[in-house]
Chains A and B, each alone.
Chain A
Amino acid sequence: MKRIRAMLVAACALTPVWALTAPAHAQGIPQNIPRKELVILENPEGTIKNAGWFNMWAINAGSQSNGLQQVALDTLWYIDPERGLDGSWDNSLAADKPVYNADYTEMRVKLRRGIFWSDGVEFTSADVKATVDIQVKNPAMRFSAVLANNVAEVQAPDAETVIFKLKKPNSRFHTNFTVRWGGIWILPKHVFEKVEDPVKFDFNKPVSLGAYTLHSYDPDGKWYIWQRREDWQRTTLARYGQPAPRYLAYVDPGPPDKRVIAQLNHELDVIHDIAPEGMFTLAKQGKSTRAWFKGFPYGHPDPTLPAVVFNTQTEHAKNRDVRWALTLLIDPKAVAMASYRGAATISAIAVPPTGVHPDAYHLPMDAWLKDYELDTGKRKIKPYDATVGKQIADSLRPSMGDQIPSDPNEIARAFGTGWWKTDAQAATELLERAGYKKQGNQWMGPDGKPFSIRLMVEGDLRPVMTRAGTMIVQQWRQFGIDAKVDVAQGTLLTRRAAGDFDAFIGWSVETWGGHNDLSYFMDSWHSQFVAEPGKPQPLRNWQRWSNPELDKLIEQTRTISFDDPKGIEIGKEYVKLMVREMPIIPLMAYNVFTAMDQTYWTGWPTSENPYANPVTNWGNSRYMFVKIKPTN
Chain B
Amino acid sequence: MMEFISTFISASLIALFLQNAIYERALGINILLYASRKKKDVIGFALGLTYITTISSALVWVSDRFFWDFEYYNLIIPVLYILIVSIIYVVSLLVVWRYFPKLYWQIKKFVHLTVFNCSVLGALFLNRQIGESFFSYIGYGMGTALGFFLAGSLLYIAYERLNSELVPKAFRGMPIMLIYVGVISMALHAFVGYA
Q: Do A and B interact with each other, yes or no?
A: no
